[in-house]
Amino acid sequence: MSVDSHSAPNFIRNQVREEIEAGRQDTIVTRFPPEPNGFLHIGHAKSICLNFGLAEQFGGQCHLRFDDTNPAKEEQAYIDAIKADITWLGFEWDGAVRYASDYFDQLYAWAQYLVREGKAYVDDLSPDEIREYRGTLTESGTPSPYRDRTPDENLDLLERMRTGEFVEGEKVLRAKIDMAASNINLRDPILYRVRHAHHHQTGDKWKIYPSYDFTHGQSDAIEGVTHSICTLEFEDHRPLYDWFLENLPVPAKPRQIEFARLNLAHTVTSKRKLKLLVDQGIVDGWDDPRMPTISGMRRRGYTPGSVRKFCEMIGVTRADGGMVDIAMLYHAIRSDLEDNAPRAMCVLKPLKVVLTNLPEDHQETFEVAGHPARDDMGVRHLPLTREVWIDHDDFMEEPPKKFFRLAPGKEVRLRNAYVIRCDEVIKDTDGEIQELRCSVDLDTLGKNPEGRKVKGVIHWVSTAHAVPVEVRLYDNLFQVEAPDRDRDGDFLEHLNPESLRIVEGYAEPSLADAEPESRYQFERVGYFCADRHECRDGKRVFNRTVGLKDGWAKAQKKG
């Protein structure tokens, strides 16, 4: 079943279209505001496609703005990786890269404004006391004993906080809203904390840093953002977002809209848990092809188009908690690679075949298409010699009835070449098969043998021209659909011990010069990508992207 690019539900796109058609909105300005404290993952890809996609569709702008309010956890390396991920996905942000820290002077001025208006105060309560005073979902909070300091006293203390006079945790600036509010986020939220941390953009200028809630809406307003799109966990923060915009002299009034985050089966997207996988060496870094990070998906061989297609397929709704079948992601990748990946042959479990009726110095070369439906992908040249490698799984001594591959006395076609017959099986002293002796029917190139029907076709590689390769067979990192659903359990208990298998194989000569990140269909095997980092012991390294079978597409046809 094909998926129309506009068939998946997207309530935000529909809403923006209605606003523009009704004349309530002239243009649209969105933003993607990542924290530079980790690598982006598939959930971020959904947000990127949504924000940049809306701007593209309606002729608007999308800003890239780093929410860099916590310098202790931020690094330039994360900033560089995030920019690379967005560019790889095929999007361009409007204007220069923006940082929340660009607005620190204005935010501080607005904090002073709230203090002068009697709507913010400096609090001496400890973090534990603040939590205790805030109350619970069923009990109102208790006002801080420092809540009624005068504006002049608060302005003085705030300035002394800014210049570094106090230690971390000694004082905070809080908004004065309502300690009895039913929404706990309105119970005098923290605006600034003392932090003696070097900032990657502002250096040592600041000894205090604003909270996310105080930074987010005002940054949107400064940039003229019209639609501040975020995930549903920020829905309870929207009243606070609006409170700041109503109580500050901001130049614009953005509107926050929430959508359901992506929950992908067999995957975790918590930055803390992903970092744990990296720190404990369970995976080989943030770009390990088993990771749901954009850099990991890229290294595994996913295409930008397939990730964008997947994000369109899953749609944008407010229904939270649903699990997206990972087979849908694999379908999007597979359908892209089916059309765009050149073909090649690679033997993963090598078994030698000697073609006994060919002379030892025999060599002929077959010219075959790089892609069966793409003339623009040129041709490959496949040399055939007396000895070739086939896959061990394509031979059985005692085959079942419907085994249409090679067996003693049985025939099979070498792909793009001749029909061969297995005449003899050579074993070692332990009874292990070492090689097969076969004969070639030289009258079967491009045609069927006379009077015989040969159903099987297998892939092969000339031993004299084979390219040694290391092939990494990746599978889901977790065995269960929702590895972090049990909050009391350890998600690491659900790791898949077969998430990575490494095999040594042989590939056809065309793969000798495979460029890093180039993608191929290994015929009859699956889709693979040349690793962008490694060429181990002289061997090319290929990562399995996805297999050939498409379970999701079959399920859709049945539906």
- Helix, strand, coil abundance in the chain, percent, nearest 5: 30, 25, 45
d(Cα 413, Cα 388) in Å, to the nearest integer? 13
Give the position of tokens 């996988």: 277
Q: Contact, 212 vs 69, CB < 8 A?
A: yes
Catalytic one of 119, 195, 261, 421: 261
Place of tokens 């099979």: 412
> Token digits for 196?
């003696």
What's the Cα-to-Cα distance from 459 to each of 4, 263, 368, 415, rounded to whole Å?
Answer: 35, 38, 13, 5
Terminal CA-to-CA distance of the chain, rounded, Å? 10
Give CA angle at 223 (222, 228), nearest 5°: 105
Q: Could you write out the DSSP letters of every residue in 374-412? A: -GGG-EEEEEEESEEEEEGGGB-SS--TT--SB-BT-EE
> Which residue among 17, 19, 35, 435 is the active-site one?
35
Upper half-sphere CA count for residue 261 (Cβ side, 13 Å): 15
CA nearest to 36, candidates 85, 74, 72? 74
Signed CA dihedral, 275, 279, 284, 290: sign only: negative
Q: Are 475 and 496 in contact (CB under 8 A)?
A: yes
Sheet with 539-547, side-by-side order of all strands:
343-344, 519-522, 526-536, 539-547, 467-474, 500-507, 346-347
Q: Which of 109, 105, 271 is nearest to 201 (CA)?
A: 105
Contact 169, 130 (CB under 8 A): no
424 forms bridges with which residues in the sheet?
437
Token duo for residue 158:
């705030």
Please pick, among 83, 271, 415, 532, the residue that the annotation labels catalytic: 271
Catalytic-residue membership of 261: yes
| Active-site annotation holds for 176 | no
Q: Is 309 a catalytic residue?
A: no
Whole-number Å distance between alpha carbons of 301 and 295: 10
DSSP letter, residue 182? S
What gap in Å lies between CA 526 and CA 522, rounded to an integer?
Answer: 5
Nearest one of 467, 439, 453 to 535, comparing CA atoms:
467
Burial letters 436-453, b for 16+ CB under 10 A, else e: bebbbbeebeeeeeeeee
β-pairing, 539-547 vs 526-536, is antiparallel
Query: In whole angstroms, what is the distance from residue 471 CA to residue 450 CA?
Result: 39
Distances (CA, A) of 138 to 144, 181, 185: 19, 11, 14
Active site residue ranges: 35, 261, 271
